[in-house]
Amino acid sequence: MTEQSFPLPDVGEGLTEAEIVNWLVQPGDTVELNQVVCEIETAKSLVELPSPFSGVVTALLAELGQTVPVGEPIMRIRTAADAGEPSGDSETDAAVAAA
C-alpha cells in the first residue's frame, strides 16, 4: 500500500488558488480513478475535481470554505502498490479489494 497526496491542480487561466466548496467523499471512502471528489470555486467558475488515483481516502486536508493555493495537498488516498499486497488492515484491504 502507498499513500498518495492529491495537490490542488492548476485549473488554468493563471489562477493561483481556489476555495473548497464541497467534499463529495469522506475518509474511509473508496474512490475510483477520475471519480469527482470535490468541488472548488475559482475567481472564474465552479469546477469539479476528479481523483487522480483509485483507492481509499485517508484524509481531507482542506476545510470547506478554505482557500487553497495551487499545488497544496488537499487530500490523501491509500493506493495499492501491488493489487495482491495486503496492508494488514482487514477493513482497508476489503475496501481496496472492492474498488
Q: Cα–Cα distances in Å, from 84 out to 3, 5, 19, 99? A: 16, 22, 38, 13
pLDDT at 70: 95
Nearest Cα residue to 76 out of 92, 89, 60: 60
More confident site: 43 or 57: 57
Q: Tell which phi-psi region holds residue 77, choosing left (phi > 0), alpha (psi between -120 and 50) or beta.
A: beta
Contact between residue 40 and residue 19 where contact means Cβ atoms under 8 Å apart: yes
Average pLDDT over residues 73-83: 84
Average pLDDT over residues 39-57: 94
Tens of pLDDT, residues 79-88: 986 444 444 4
Q: Tell which phi-psi region holds residue 15, choosing left (phi > 0), alpha (psi between -120 and 50) or beta.
A: beta
User: Looking at the whole model, is its pTM more than 0.75?
Assistant: yes
pLDDT at 74: 98
